[in-house]
Amino acid sequence: MKLQTVSIFVDDQQRALEFYTEKLGFTVAADVPLGEHRWLTVVDPDRPDATEISLEPKSHPAAVAFADALAADGIPMCVLGVDDIHATHERLSALGVAFTQPPTPLGPVTVAVLDDTCGNLLQIAQFHPDHQA
């Protein structure tokens, strides 16, 4: 058994698609019209069989309350791993991505938090496996 798909609730699927592909570098795994919305997933282009992210419309009242409360409290919706957080921060900043927290060392990990423009904060993290506590 493996984790196939995780959902991130977004205000606007098209804007989310543009952000997650053009800024973050994911590729489209599925884009299927479903009436007013779409079954829209993206995946790491280097690992097409990896867990997909469903860019789920934030249309259910529980999803709205959940996502809005996380964002209001500054809590990221998820963590995305990167190999070089400083290079990633510089690249995304140059593309106009807004960060609410710059790269910050926290022991065995360095994290930064960005705004996905669709109602969510995302954390990027670089883990340091050789870190000594």
Q: What is the pTM of this model?
A: 0.92
The span from the CA of 90 to the CA of 32, in Å, is 33
Give residue 132's pLDDT band: very low, low, confident or very high (50, 70, 90). low
90-129 pLDDT, tens digit each? 999 999 999 999 999 999 999 999 999 999 999 999 999 8
Q: Which CATH number fits domain 5-127: 3.10.180.10, 3.30.70.260, 3.40.630.30, 3.40.50.2300?
A: 3.10.180.10
- Give the model's pLDDT for residue 52: 98
pLDDT at 131 over 90: no
Strand partners, 70: none
Domain ranges of the chain: 5-127
